[in-house]
Chains A and B, each alone.
Chain A
Amino acid sequence: MRSEETDKEQRIIRLFHQGDASAMDLLYTDYAGYLTWVGFRYISDDDDLKDVLQESFIKIFTCINSFTYRGKGSLKAWMTRIVINESLQFLRRQQASQIVRMDDLDLPDMAEEEPDLTGLSADSLSEMIRHLPPGCREVFNLYAVEGKSHIEIARLLNIKPDTSASQFHRARAILARMIRKYQLKKARE
Chain B
Amino acid sequence: MKDQWIRDMRRLLDGYEKDPPDGLLDEVKQAIGERNLRPVPERKSATWPTN
Using known A-B contacts A54-B24, A58-B32, determine if residue A40 contacts B18 with beta carbons closer than 8 Å: yes
Judge whether B45 is part of the interface by a CB distance below 8 angstroms.
yes
Q: Does the CB pair A126–B6 fall under 8 Å?
A: no
What 1/0 flags go to A14-31 for Cβ under 8 Å of B? Answer: 001111110111001000
Contact of A58 among B12, B31, B43, B45 (CB under 8 A): B31
Q: 1/0 per residue A102-138: CB within 8 Å of B?
A: 0000000000001111001010011000000000000
Which chain B residues numbered 4 to 42 have a C-beta less than 8 Å away from chain A? 5-6, 8-10, 12-13, 16-21, 24-25, 27-29, 31-32, 35, 37-42
Q: Is A189 an interface residue (CB 8 A)?
A: no
In the complex, the answer to whether A32 meets B13 with C-beta atoms within 8 Å is no
Closest to B21 in A: A50
Q: How far is the CA of A36 from the CA of B35 in the complex (A)?
A: 23
Report whether A58 and B37 are in contact in the complex, using a CB–CB cutoff of 8 Å: yes
B13 pairs with A126, CB closer than 8 A: yes
What does DSSP make chain A's interface, helix, strand, loop or mixed?
A: helix
Chain A interface size band reads 35 or more
Query: Which of A59-67, A85-93, A180-188 contacts its partner?
Result: A59-67
Known contacts A24-B39, A32-B24, A54-B31; can you find 20 more A-B pairs with CB under 8 A? A16-B40, A17-B40, A18-B43, A19-B43, A19-B47, A21-B48, A23-B39, A24-B25, A33-B19, A36-B17, A36-B18, A50-B21, A53-B21, A54-B27, A57-B28, A61-B28, A61-B39, A65-B41, A125-B13, A144-B10
Give the A-binding residues of B (Cβ under 8 A).
Answer: 5-6, 8-10, 12-13, 16-21, 24-25, 27-29, 31-32, 35, 37-43, 45-49
